[in-house]
A and B are shown apart, each in its own frame.
Chain A
Amino acid sequence: MTMLLMALAGGVGAATRFVTDAAVARRSRFRVPLGTLVINVTGSFLLGLLTGLFALSSADSSGATLKAVIGTGFCGGFTTFSTASVESVRLWLAEGRATGFGYAATTLVLGVVAAATGIGVGQLLG
């Protein structure tokens, strides 16, 4: 049951990513794919928040189920590693290697900082 809800939440996450990416791309004046960056950073923060909030919940609690459905499902479907990789390659080919790796490194640093911030905030609230 949790698995089914998780998959459905992943579908909602993927659809939300599509809509968010289009909305950011329409407003962005940069050649760097800002939509995927924003999505991966906010999704990492949200999963960090859930991880911090439910760090002490037992495996069969409703908190653990919520974390699995929203965290593994929605956040996992919303964020995407493959698009970040492909966009780094595209930037590399179009703008040079420094831009491609700069984009990958920026996403990595911001994503990890966002996840750490989320975990910290979640632990404070939890």
Chain B
Amino acid sequence: MAVTDGPAAAASRRRGRGGLGGSPRLVAVIFVGGALGTFARAVLEDAAPARPGAVPWTTLAINVVGSLLLGLLLETLARTGPDEGWRRTARLGLGTGVLGGFTTYSTFAVETVGRLAPQTLLVGIAYAVGSVVSGVAAAAVGYRLAHGLRRSTPEPGARR
């Protein structure tokens, strides 16, 4: 495997987003988080399965709520300190693991295709566009919430 190497590449591998350099502990944290998130999604989809030809409300709710929580989590972590130590573990375990495993693009895409038949075309288009727009809006709301939380708790030593 020929990878362009150098100090910058090596440094980014060590602390960049998802460096592979000897972090089996972080991969294990992501594995556990992903299993928990997937389990929660499977339980919800099992309790309220999508009906053929209708809007898959369960997947929609999972994806929108997950997008809001991920926006809130990542922005809160980014605003409170550097991405290292417990913050990195929380980002990877809860964000990449739990929320990444909880939300799903593949089920969303396959459900959309299943509704793009002539009789249910409008449902398919509404589900596809509605999910993406609500997901982005929910993530933006998560960001704004993180800013709001931050503003109400000024940094120690910050002048008012």
- Say whether A associates with B: yes
Assess A84 versus B30: contact at CB under 8 Å? Given A6-B38, A25-B17, A72-B45: no
Main secondary structure of the interface of B (DSSP, over half): helix
Residue of B nearest to A73 (CB): B38
CB–CB B17/A13 < 8 A? no
A94 within 8 A of B: no
CB–CB A85/B67 < 8 A? yes
Q: How many residues of B are counted as interface, with CB atoms below 8 angstroms from the partner's CB atoms? A: 63
CB–CB B135/A19 < 8 A? no
Apart from A14-B34, A25-B18, what 10 extra A-B contacts exist at CB < 8 Å? A10-B35, A11-B33, A14-B96, A48-B106, A51-B110, A80-B105, A81-B67, A82-B103, A114-B109, A116-B113
5 closest Cβ pairs, A-B complex: A10-B38, A14-B34, A11-B35, A22-B18, A85-B67
On B, residues with C-beta under 8 Å from A are 3, 9, 12-13, 16-20, 26-27, 30-39, 41-43, 45, 62-63, 66-67, 69-71, 74, 92, 95-97, 99-110, 112-113, 116, 128-129, 131-132, 135-136, 138-140, 142-143
